[in-house]
Amino acid sequence: MIDKITNLLPFFAKKPATPAETSIKKFGTFGGVFTPDVLTILGVIMYLRLGWVVGNAGLVGAVVIILLAKSVTICTGLSMSSITTNIKIGAGGAYSIISKSLGLEAGGSIGIPLYIAQTLSAALYIIGFTEAWVGVFSTHPPLTVSIVAWAGLLVVTSVSANLAIRTQYLIMAIVGLSIVSFGLTPADPVPEPVLLGRFEDAGFWQVFAIFFPAVTGIMAGANMSGDLKDPRRAIPRGTISAILVTMVIYIGLAYIAARVGSPEELRTKQLFMVDKALWGPAVLAGIMGATLSSALGSMLGAPRMLQAMAAQRIVPFHQTLAVKSKSNEPRHAAFFTGAAILAALIMGNLDILASLITMFFLITYGTLNLVVFLQQNMKIISFRPTFKIPPFVPLLGAVGCIFMMFLINSIFSIVALVTIVVFYIWLTRRGLEAPEGDIRGGLFLALAERASRLADKFPRHQVSWKPDFLVPIEDPEVWAGPLLFIRNATYPSGSIFAFTITTEKQIEPKEHALNELLVPLKEQGILVNSAVIEDNDFLHGAKSVIQTLRGGAFRPNTLFLTIGDDRALSPNSMPASSRKTRQESGEPVDTISQLVALTLKHQMGVAILRQHPRMAFGMQQDVNLWLRDRSPNWHLAMLMALQLQLNWDGKINLVTVTSDEADQERLYNFLEHLGDQARLPSLTEFHVLTGEFKEVLGTAPRADINIFGLSVDESVPLDFIKEVSEAVKSSCVFVIDSGYESALA
């Protein structure tokens, strides 16, 4: 415990002042964070609704509501303090934190609702000021009072943040005097304080929703991050201090209210604190000062958040809203925010605004906690905040926010979450580019790594097979291979690992060309990886690739080759210098056969494409799948046929051949049974051809591609492959099972 306290001391120790003289005024912890936070928290809800909360919930119920609300802000404050000591916070407070962690899209999708919440907060506080003013001057029109207060605050916030901060010092003294005046109440105590109320005006969660904005001022200081001398130190110290001080004040005021007021008085008298105070005018001054100060804090923070989002093109009219004055004031954003506040004032319903603000702040707080929790659990070295918190703190904060959202109003919670998703999709389509990186790529990589560790604990089963192709490419700068066919054979769940082998001098241009070549496949949403291997011998380089990938979590399961008219591996797939190698005896050996043997040895299937020079892939609809009775080598062929049929939306023809007419019925039944066991599409047709295999090839149903199982003993039968392709007048795929595929799983 002593060590933990020691670790926290640097954040509450005074930092030596720097003698820098700047033209732009910067604020410290007390003026820039603690004061705005405290005065935003101790606002209209404390004066006009805390008594109502106690009257409905009783003393114990009110304390539970206060602690429950504070638990959310304590977790959020600790999370925000932790992350602000890890990154350099820019302008925009919570928006800056989220966007630097989860990207501009996530930052904007949360920042826009948070900006709305800040704007509505200012309207709420002005309405609270109006209620207090009209309570004293009953003849003054409420809307006129609200507009006059709004205009005065807008002038102050537009002219100078320094003036606004200095004004808050005076207001803090007035608020302190009002709290002391109520604490020294001369009123007689009630016979017996009500500990548990009957919630006559609203249920527990409705009361909680109306009270919750009373604790949401913790962002007031963080939103000033761009105007702080040292936000990394000021935000943690100021925020945590403000949360703890105001929690003590709220509990103390709730206790005093329960001691001197009956439930009926507390529920019906909005100015209960004025009536019971030692000096009522002090509480009235506190109400007016605190509500104006809270509005001032929101009107300072909201434009700065809007300006920060506009500077990164998050919001419309960003060129105008991003402009700052010479004194660093976001005046255009301030005027826009002022207009939005005026529109909210016309609504004029305090409780409706409170419920809306509750939801927006809960979403923001939950996201902030989630960001910290994710970074903690990624275990990345870049996340090393000097203010450390246990992982359960942000987790509790995030779960608590979501839980409370749905308990308060499940319908509005869903609407709010859908709104954020819509904002996210809209911002994603705008192609925003952040000047700094974020953790999104690392986050998903960390999740993938953890998933792969879990996957390694379980045996790989045939039921989880998907097409993961290993594709060798000779020269990506001139390659014109069957990209569309590869796409149709792997989309949507498959993957592709393409590699090329070259000399040392050609590595960089080959990498660029290979990446450029694979862009269309990546744009289709297929997982594509690539590598350029430096080696003078193709087989040696290919062997290195296969052996290396075999040990990975995401390894290919099928080698994909193409064969051209030169009876060797097509120039699209293998360097010309590597098509033939020699044994020690000097006799030529077919490289493709060695490559196939190497692949099968490492438990990978093989698919060899012979693209017809004239027919190519036809209309990309029908697939002929040729099967031999009692052949074990048909699972990969059927899986590829199903994959192509899925993407071509065509028909599969199961075809077999017999030289004995008496065997036709048995083979037809065999095909029907196999189709049923493999769950082939209902439109699948079955064909039994009578005669010798090579003689009946031309009588088979017309198809855009024919798939054959291929048995390999010592070498790949290149002559047979070419002859069959010409006979069926279509492109053909010749498939060899690895033994780890199953079309029946």
Q: Where residue 81 falls among pLDDT bands split at 50, 70, 90?
A: confident
What count of Cα atoms within 13 Å lies in the side-chain half-sphere of residue 169? 8
Q: Which two tokens stand for residue 390?
A: 């246990």
Say if 39-317+324-429 and 465-611 have the same CATH topology: no
Q: Using one digit for the tens of pLDDT, what is the confidence trace for 698-722? A: 899 999 999 998 877 667 788 888 8
User: Would you say residue 622 has pLDDT above 90?
Assistant: yes
User: Would you say residue 456 has pLDDT above 70?
Assistant: no
Q: At 155, which amino acid appears?
A: V
Q: Where residue 690 falls among pLDDT bands split at 50, 70, 90?
A: very high
Q: Where residue 246 falls among pLDDT bands split at 50, 70, 90?
A: very high
pLDDT at 353: 60
Q: Which CATH superfamily is domain 613-745 in?
A: HUPs (3.40.50.620)
Which of the pair, 629 or 358, is modelled with greater confidence?
629
Residue 655: strand pairing partners: 626, 687
Q: Which helix (H) or strand (E) holds 605?
A: strand 605-610
pLDDT at 99: 79
For the domain made up of 39-317+324-429, give the CATH fold.
Answer: Amino acid/polyamine transporter I (1.20.1740)
Q: Which CATH superfamily is domain 465-611 in?
A: HUPs (3.40.50.620)
Q: Using one digit for the tens of pLDDT, what is the confidence trace for 169-192? A: 888 889 899 999 999 999 888 888
Which of the pair, 619 or 592, is modelled with greater confidence?
619
User: Would you say residue 17 has pLDDT above 70?
Assistant: no
CA–CA distance from 189 to each of 178, 257, 258, 483, 744 (Å)? 20, 9, 9, 84, 81
pLDDT at 656: 93
Cα separation, 125 vs 290, whole angstroms: 9
pLDDT at 206: 85
Q: Using one digit for the tens of pLDDT, what is the confidence trace for 595-611? A: 888 888 888 999 999 98
Cα separation, 133 vs 295, whole angstroms: 15
Chain-centre distance for alpha carbon 70: 27
Is 647 in contact with 607 (CB distance < 8 Å)?
Answer: no
Q: Which two tokens stand for residue 226?
A: 């761009």
pLDDT at 573: 44
Which of the pair, 561 or 92, is modelled with greater confidence?
561
Is 620 in contact with 702 (CB distance < 8 Å)?
Answer: no
Q: Using one digit for the tens of pLDDT, what is the confidence trace for 139-151? A: 889 889 999 999 9
Report which of 311, 296, 378, 333 is spatially closest to residue 83, judged by C-alpha positions.
378
Q: Using one digit for the tens of pLDDT, what is the confidence trace for 412-433? A: 788 878 888 888 888 888 777 7
Helix axes 142-159, 280-311, angle to 10 degrees: 50
Lowest mean pLDDT among 193-207, 460-474, 646-660: 460-474
Cα separation, 679 vs 230, whole angstroms: 66
In the predicted model, what is the mean pLDDT of residues 391-406? 88
Q: Where residue 586 falls among pLDDT bands split at 50, 70, 90?
A: very low
Sign of the C-alpha dihedral, residues 483, 487, 489, 490?
positive
Report which of 422, 226, 421 is spatially closest to residue 305, judged by C-alpha positions.
226
Give me the chain's average pLDDT, please.
Answer: 81
Q: Which two tokens stand for residue 366?
A: 């939950």
Sign of the C-alpha dihedral, residues 403, 404, 405, 410?
positive
Share of the chain above pLDDT 70, in %: 85
Cα separation, 160 vs 176, whole angstroms: 25
User: Would you say residue 566 has pLDDT above 60?
Assistant: no
Cα separation, 101 vs 394, whole angstroms: 15
Which of the pair, 627 or 4, is modelled with greater confidence?
627
Q: Which two tokens stand for residue 593?
A: 């056969």
Lowest mean pLDDT among 124-128, 157-161, 289-293, 508-512: 157-161
Q: Using one digit for the tens of pLDDT, what is the confidence trace for 30-78? A: 888 888 888 878 877 788 789 999 999 999 999 999 999 999 889 988 9
Q: Where residue 315 falls among pLDDT bands split at 50, 70, 90?
A: confident
User: Would you say residue 2 has pLDDT above 60?
Assistant: no
User: Would you say residue 540 has pLDDT above 70?
Assistant: yes
Cα separation, 130 vs 137, whole angstroms: 10
Q: Where residue 577 falls among pLDDT bands split at 50, 70, 90?
A: very low
Q: Where residue 588 falls among pLDDT bands split at 50, 70, 90?
A: very low
Lowest mean pLDDT among 282-286, 522-526, 565-569: 565-569
pLDDT at 161: 65
User: Would you say residue 11 has pLDDT above 70?
Assistant: no
Is 719 in contact with 567 (CB distance < 8 Å)?
Answer: yes
Q: Using one digit for the tens of pLDDT, what is the confidence trace for 296-308? A: 877 888 888 888 8
pLDDT at 625: 94
CA angle (653 as vertex; 648, 659 as ends), nearest 5: 155
Share of the chain above pLDDT 90, in %: 20
Domain boundaries, the chain: 39-317+324-429, 465-611, 613-745
Q: Using one digit for the tens of pLDDT, what is the confidence trace for 470-516? A: 998 877 877 766 888 999 999 988 899 999 888 777 888 888 888 88
Find the Cα–Cα–Cα–Cα dihedral 121, 126, 128, 131, rounded to 10°: -160
**In terms of DSSP H, where are the helices of 85-103?**
94-102
Cα separation, 399 vs 197, whole angstroms: 27
Predicted TM-score (pTM) of this structure: 0.66
What count of Cα atoms within 13 Å lies in the side-chain half-sphere of residue 686? 16
